[in-house]
Structure 1
């Protein structure tokens, strides 16, 4: 009846184009309390019904659902269809769209879905989207479409306290987003204009977590951060001024630390010798962004013991962190493992081959055997590989590195 326009008795003018759409009063009123009031209520409209704020394609999707119980939408159109369903009180369609949103979260769609959830107060879905973004924001913010996110949604994202993303990377993304905003309104992409687009968003970046060299090289070379703000932040970084003197946030982003274990006590074998002072090395990849805080190593069952250690972490053969030479002593604990912390947590990203190396000098330790070559903890999968160089015998199935300390 709708397709062939048979016995239609109501006309609607839809969208900015004032497109004429003919339908049936009984169908509209029986499926929507809002249409029922507009057509049969005390203030029923006698003329054509005006629908100015819904695009024809979205209104057509709404009508198809009212008539057939079926609907067709995509991540690009779901927000406008949800808006139409919400405005006209079509609860069945709202439920159907919420199910779609819940089942179609990907790196490409999560920002659109997040905006829909916030716009329509879908609190039961917001927590799920937050965790998706917090735990692995890099692929979410990489597509060009991410630069189109609204300022409100961007504020929401970079204010997340558990966002697993380096503050310098957040700063660079905010710069790119602001430049895109300048393009959209025809403004020249000067530093003052970029800062104007950022507004108070810039205060959510934890600049104080950067080391001084990074801050000077990557932030002070532009006029995005004002001169007095740069001075204040530099003083905070070197701990010579009270943090309350600036508008910037200084609360540390929270993270959940956990251990990725590839070798348990039942897997140990004896002994692992260090007479040749060769480093133990293992390579690995991750499936999502995660921070690594340190390496877990086997020690000796008999207490006391002492090791002289030095460690390194490489990303695609480039050194990214160095544990300086230090002494590890165990004198009061029977724990046969110990942790070597990195000087600062390092962000690991998908698509990168990492190599952990530790040189131990000291007594023979326990070693491991029958390790799993793939381990998943908290949704983070580490896949291990044998290093082609000298490894003191450590590989993806045996040796040292029974675990790694990570956080989201």
Structure 2
């Protein structure tokens, strides 16, 4: 006896979406079979449901060239195909940054426009420091121009290191990386961008089974190397850290050295010689290694007053990290202007696992312009393990022509019992 015959009352009280879900889940009267993914997972479904929601499925199943055998779908993973079917049958879908691009690919391939629209809305509302690269890649792949511009705007207004050694960065396509390196706003120094490009190229070598020689790395880089703004590096680190490898050839090294010191006609090089417009810089109150230890068990906030002598934008706070690696903190952060709150960082948890993470940054939701003759107060509360704490700080620091004055908080009513040992500095731009 069939499941349908054995469950006479399963339709009772169910709406259409619930009936569809039940029939799909229990494989009742399925009449089409797919072999999905590299392993060819068996997926059974109903022609009438698929054709009613997708013109591509309709042509595939009922058109003149309708397929009569198992339909092979090698380019979509089973989990993404299942998500597509759930939406087609029931109108709902669970999305997350790690899988959203593959589900979007499936929806676009089979012309399920309602799902494409839903995913695009999800991407639009979930751009963060952690997801912006994934969303940027999707926007380029599917020609979502408005979403692409929103990612670009986010990158420009949230200038924190975008490219790093995490897999999401190293796995960028050449086209997406070219787009990023062409931007006039990247919150990284050019030497750091160049070092990332090397790591990205090494990762591509690994994928291709190539030895990671300087010659192969240069071959992988292709024209991407011309997007590095070498002329805005200082000559000493350029010679020390870049000329010691054979990624650039001898003539390129010589030409770039001459450009850096101002002795070469800039029309005689392929390299991009334009200065990036947004100059991000760190304002550090002290350069000495941190040796003190601060207990965060009391949840005591850190507060510091800031004054500037000319307009400058602040993008976030630099904090000392945990003594032991890895470490996790729950963070609260705010910025005040003359004791009035003007920016609040949503409560969040950070996790650091690299031995070099002795400092970390807390980005503000949007950059804030600091103006002269106004007192600003940075307030941060860390909840978590013991952290490093600074010493020998400077009260006056000048960076990029801007003089920063740091002081203990003068408003005991607003900020009682706050300390400032854990504030090594700020992230700013002109």
Measured against the shorter chain, the TM-score band is 0.5 to 0.7
Report 1:29-48 matches (<5 A).
Answer: 29-48=51-70
Report 1:381-400 matches (<5 A).
Answer: 383-384=377-378, 395=407
Question: 2:190, 2:229 within 8 Å by CA — same for their partners in 1?
Answer: yes
Structure 2 residue corresponding to 1:351, chosen from 318, 337, 340: 318
Number of the residue aligned with 1:23: 45
Question: 2:285, 2:394 within 8 Å by CA — same for their partners in 1?
Answer: no
Structure 2 residue corresponding to 1:10, chosen from 19, 32, 41: 32
Number of the residue aligned with 2:174: 151
The CA RMSD measured in Å over matched residues stands at 3.6
Question: 2:314, 2:427 within 8 Å by CA — same for their partners in 1?
Answer: no
Secondary structure of the residue aligned to 2:25 is coil
Structure 2 residue corresponding to 1:78, chosen from 62, 85, 100: 100
Structure 2 residue corresponding to 1:253, chosen from 265, 273, 276: 276
5+ residue gaps, structure 2, are 1-22, 290-306, 321-336, 344-363, 369-375, 380-390, 397-404, 411-425
Report 1:39-188 matches (<5 A).
Answer: 39-134=61-156, 135-138=158-161, 141-188=164-211
Q: Give the distance between the partners of 1:209 and 1:27, measured in 2 at CA.
A: 59
Number of the residue aligned with 1:317: 287
CA displacement at 1:115 relative to structure 2: 1.0
Secondary structure of the residue aligned to 2:161 is helix
Secondary structure of the residue aligned to 1:235 is helix
Q: Give the distance between the partners of 1:61 and 1:43, measured in 2 at CA.
A: 26
Q: Give the distance between the partners of 1:391 and 1:28, measured in 2 at CA.
A: 68
Q: What per-residue deviation string (whole Å, max 9, x for no partner) do you get for residues 150-171 of structure 1?
A: 2221111111112232111101
Q: What per-residue deviation string (whole Å, max 9, x for no partner) do you get for residues 4-24 of structure 1?
A: 111112222323333332211
- Which of structures 1 and 2 has the bigger CA Rg? 1
Q: Give the distance between the partners of 2:239 and 2:315, measured in 1 at CA.
A: 24
Question: 1:11, 1:48 within 8 Å by CA — same for their partners in 2?
Answer: yes
CA displacement at 1:121 relative to structure 2: 0.7
Distance 1:184 1:11, change over 3 A: closer
Q: Give the distance between the partners of 2:167 and 2:308, measured in 1 at CA.
A: 44
Q: Give the distance between the partners of 2:164 and 2:149, measured in 1 at CA.
A: 18
Distance 1:140 1:247, change over 3 A: closer
Q: Give the distance between the partners of 2:185 and 2:80, measured in 1 at CA.
A: 36
Distance 1:47 1:384, change over 3 A: closer
Structure 2 residue corresponding to 1:234, chosen from 247, 252, 257: 257
CA displacement at 1:35 relative to structure 2: 1.0
Secondary structure of the residue aligned to 1:107 is coil
Q: Give the distance between the partners of 1:104 and 1:405, measured in 2 at CA.
A: 24
Q: Give the distance between the partners of 2:313 and 2:149, measured in 1 at CA.
A: 26
Number of the residue aligned with 1:379: 366
CA displacement at 1:99 relative to structure 2: 1.7
Q: How many residues align?
A: 315
Question: 2:81, 2:106 within 8 Å by CA — same for their partners in 1?
Answer: yes
CA displacement at 1:131 relative to structure 2: 2.5
Q: Give the distance between the partners of 2:276 and 2:249, measured in 1 at CA.
A: 24
The TM-score with structure 2 as length reference comes to 0.64
Q: Give the distance between the partners of 1:338 and 1:349, measured in 2 at CA.
A: 15
The TM-score with structure 1 as length reference comes to 0.67
Q: What per-residue deviation string (whole Å, max 9, x for no partner) do you get for residues 326-357 of structure 1?
A: xxxxxxxxxxx99579xxx999875357xxxx
Number of the residue aligned with 1:407: 429
